[in-house]
Amino acid sequence: MAEAGTLRPGLKGLLTARRGRGGKRHWTDWFAYLYLLLGVVLMFGPVVWLTLSSFKTPAGLVEFPPTMLPLGQIAVEVEGHDKPLPLYRVTMEDGTTRELAQIRRIGIISQMVDPAAPGETLKVPIAQREPVREFRMAWENYRDPLERFDFVKYFWNSVIVTAVATIITLLINSMAAYALSIYEFRGRNAIMLLVIGTLMIPITVILVPVYLVVTQLNMVNTLWAVILPGAATPTGVFLLRQYMLTIPRDLIDAARMDKASEWSIYWRVVMPLAMPAIAVLAIFSVMWRWNEFLWPLIVLNRSEVYTLQVGLNAFQGELDVQWHYILAMTVVTLIPVVLVFAFLQRFITTGIANAGMK
């Protein structure tokens, strides 16, 4: 690095922009790319594996060692047989291999037929045959649970919880933030202290009493029990207030001159200006609600009110775990999150970097 610096002292800017390009590669450069490569494998790999596995048949899933891609055995139409027959690659006595279709299997002997010459039947020991397979996705893993189980119900419960809770959160949090940022009034600091104080009390600390409150309000096993307790987020109030403090006072004074009511100043003047912060809070609220687990697990005990997360957990806890359905439904649960991330990544990352919230 030092040599390059003395060689081209005038090109300081260029050198800092492409450090290491001109001179020797520093060990950290190699390390960086190795680390990133490993990162891609370790972070993406599991999700890719989940998605690939979710398209495998139950038989394909229990295979060990597992195949990379979802495969299905090829079946062929053979003259003289009503149903398509499964195709095998058979090692014959003389060492040659032929592709034969199996008619039936008796013990360790398989009766086979050559699709090209359907007249002749061959008897082959099953150890000498191997299924011929092609890439095939088992869409029934997705279709069946959606048709036969309550997963559509769980999905809708999650959608309702997420949507209603986010609307309530945005409304009451922005109102509180408006009051705390636009007005000077006695008790404002005390309220701010309360907001920061509630920041310290996560639901994990007050599980029992909140359960009592929810029971008293007769909300156990209703979606309200999930929606309401977390609606007033201190993080949301804090974030929105910080943003609203930057809105010029002149705008509000001008609106008051025009005899606008306080409510219309709030939603016609301040809310539109606070939209960037509202959007960040909306995204976070959607994430929080969609992924919430412990609290719904406690207050939702009947399967018709399960959210996706609770339903998925109940499903994987069953004695006879049906992995082919679980994997497919995990992918379904993941899709909305991936979509939100793909489109709104910038909002999320700046939200975290600025507010340090999650």
Partner 1 sequence: MTATLKERAATLAALPVEFLFRALETPLAFVQRLVGVRGMPWVFLLPNLAFFGIFVVIPLFINFAFSLTGGTALYPSDRVYAGTEQYAFLFDCENFADPITCREDRFWKGIYNTAVFIFFQVSFLVLFSLVTALVLNMKIRARGFFRAVFFFPVLLSPVVVALIWKWILLRDGLLNAFLVSLGLDKILFFVSPEWAMFWAIFVSIWAHMGFYTLILLAGLQAIPPDLYEAAEVDGTSRERVFFRITLPLLWPNLLVVIVLALIKGVQIFDEVFVLTGGGPGTATQFIVQYIYNTAFTQQVQNFGLAAAASVVLGTVLFVLTLTQLAVTRKRDNG
Q: Which of 7, 8, 19, 24 binds partner 1 (CB under 8 A)?
A: 19
Burial of 271 (0-12, 13-18, 19+ CB in 10 A): middle
**Segment contacting partner 1 (CB under 8 A): 15-23, 107-115, 140-148, 244-252?**
15-23
303 contributes a contact to partner 1 by CB under 8 A: no
Max CA separation in the chain (angstroms): 100
221 contributes a contact to partner 1 by CB under 8 A: no
The Cβ of residue 347 has, within 10 Å, a number of other Cβ atoms equal to 16
Least distance between partner 1 and beta carbon 75 (Å) = 26
313 contributes a contact to partner 1 by CB under 8 A: yes
Q: For partner 1, what does the binding mask look like between residues 91 and 130, x meaning CB under 8 A? A: ----------------------------------------
Amino acid at 146: L
30 contributes a contact to partner 1 by CB under 8 A: no
59 contributes a contact to partner 1 by CB under 8 A: no
β-pair partners for 100: 88
> Closer to partner 1 at the Cβ: 112 or 226?
226
**Residue 130, helix vs strand vs coil:** strand
> Closer to partner 1 at the Cβ: 152 or 294?
294
Q: How many residues does the chain have?
A: 358
339 contributes a contact to partner 1 by CB under 8 A: no
> Closer to partner 1 at the Cβ: 42 or 117?
42
Non-local (6+) Cβ contacts of 56 within 8 A are: 67, 70, 71, 138, 141, 324
Which 65-84 residues touch partner 1, going by CB under 8 A? 65-66
**Segment contacting partner 1 (CB under 8 A): 34-42, 89-97, 102-110, 149-157?**
34-42
Amino acid at 141: N
Which 242-271 residues touch partner 1, going by CB under 8 A? 261-264, 266-267, 271
Q: By CB under 8 A, how many residues form the interface with partner 1? A: 120
- Per the structure block, which two tokens stand in for 73? 């055995």
**Residue 109, helix vs strand vs coil:** strand
Least distance between partner 1 and beta carbon 103 (Å) = 31
Output the CA–CA distances (angstroms, integers) from residue 338 to 47, 344, 345, in the order listed.
Answer: 11, 10, 10
Q: For residue 121, report the phi and psi dihedrals to the nearest 5 degrees.
A: -105, 135
Q: Which of 106, 108, 190, 353 binds partner 1 (CB under 8 A)?
A: 353
Contact 101, 113 (CB under 8 A): yes
Which 152-211 residues touch partner 1, going by CB under 8 A? 163, 166-167, 170-173, 175-176, 178-180, 182-183, 185, 188, 191, 194-196, 198-202, 204-211
> Closer to partner 1 at the Cβ: 143 or 188?
188
Least distance between partner 1 and beta carbon 131 (Å) = 19
Least distance between partner 1 and beta carbon 166 (Å) = 8
Q: Which of 46, 58, 84, 125 binds partner 1 (CB under 8 A)?
A: 46
Using the 8-state DSSP alphabet, how is residue 222 labeled?
A: S
- Per the structure block, which two tokens stand in for 285? 């609220």
Contact 193, 238 (CB under 8 A): no
